[in-house]
């Protein structure tokens, strides 16, 4: 079994961050559409889930200081340093 290098891990993290953003955005959009189609009693619950999912997606995209983004940046920095030496 091959052990992944830091460069491989950095690429995986970069794609994971984008993937998580897209998944949360899709969940929010699905919940918003479901809220529009569901009975009036269920709509507020779907809208709450949609708002939270879209909020988390925006946080993944825009937050510079989140622990996930700091860890991803550190892995990318270490991978870049290792390839230049």
Q: Where in the chain are the domains? A: 6-84
Q: Who's near 19: CB < 8 A, 6+ residues apart?
A: none
pTM of the model: 0.68
Alpha carbons 56 and 44: distance in angstroms, whole number: 18
pLDDT of residue 12: 82
Give the count of beta carbons closer than 10 Å to the beta carbon of residue 10: 22
Distance from first CA to last CA of the chain, Å, rounded?
26
> For 15-70, what is each residue's pLDDT tens digit?
787 888 899 999 999 999 999 998 888 889 999 999 999 998 888 777 666 777 78
């Amino acid at each position: 079994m091959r052990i992944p290098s830091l460069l491989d891990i950095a690429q995986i993290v970069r794609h994971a961050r984008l993937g998580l953003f897209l998944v949360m955005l899709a969940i929010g959009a699905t919940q918003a559409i479901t809220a529009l189609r569901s009975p009036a009693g269920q709509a507020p619950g779907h809208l709450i889930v949609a708002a939270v999912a879209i909020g988390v997606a925006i946080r993944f995209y825009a937050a510079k200081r989140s622990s996930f983004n700091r860890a991803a940046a550190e892995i990318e920095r270490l991978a870049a340093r290792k390839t230049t030496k």
